[in-house]
Structure 1
């Protein structure tokens, strides 16, 4: 196991720059919201032209958990709920957003969403994350 802190999480499927098949997400904070942009390709689809629901869920999980990680908190997802509101298309830029909704001791309630450039929300997420 590599303990070099510079190499930590470099192979994360969602954000690791060294993962050859990863999504390579990058993030920024905007007004208490964590934001990433991603354009899915044909390798991310289920049905023709539609992003796989498991990967949609991955984007939501990552934006919510990643926000806490950016604050110096190491958290794991205890519960994840995804509401698919519309098909998430392949080949269109997605805006992924996450924010903190509440906190009770070491548990954080998070919310996230994926939207298209025209503002259409394709998926919403709610999660409970536990600080470890």
Structure 2
């Protein structure tokens, strides 16, 4: 396998600006928590009116790994676990957050969640993220 070259990628499905079918997520950091908001539409559903679990998994993965990127690390997901608490409806703005739980050398344990406007949690994520190099 060719060596991976770390670089900005405007074609990222989650955050890339050039990807015409991407989610085009924007992020901010507040007090050690990384945050993005996303309003899924019918094109993001599985069952009628319910966001596809793969999209939920993508949102959690992106908010956790990109947080480390914002801190100056090139990192990749080593393990991702998603707990779906309840169906996530389309056409509601979701707040997706991620934060660092623990650091062990080049491995980070991360946690994230997907929250509806009423404060109910629809999904939670845990990830082990590996730093492959510093930017």
Q: Secondary structure at the match of 2:67?
A: helix
State the match for 1:33 in structure 2.
33
Aligned counterpart, 2:17:
17
Q: 1:10, CA displacement in angstroms?
A: 0.4
* CA distance in 2 between partners of 1:106 and 1:38 (Å): 30
Structure 2: segments with no counterpart, 5+ residues: none
Q: TM-score, length-normalised on structure 2?
A: 0.92
| Aligned-partner Cα distance in 2 for 1:42–1:93 | 13
> What is the root-mean-square deviation in Å for CA atoms of aligned residues?
1.0
1:9 CA drift (Å): 1.1
- 1:71 corresponds to which residue? 71
2:121 matched residue in structure 1: 121
What are structure 1's unaligned runs of at least 5 residues? none
Shift of 1:55: 0.7
Deviations along 1:96-129, one digit per CA (max 9) or x if unpaired, are 0000000100000000000001100000000000
Q: How many residues align?
A: 127
C-alpha separation between the residues in 1 aligned to 2:75 and 2:90?
30
C-alpha distance in 2, partners of 1:9/1:87? 31
- Per the normalisation by structure 1, the TM-score is 0.94
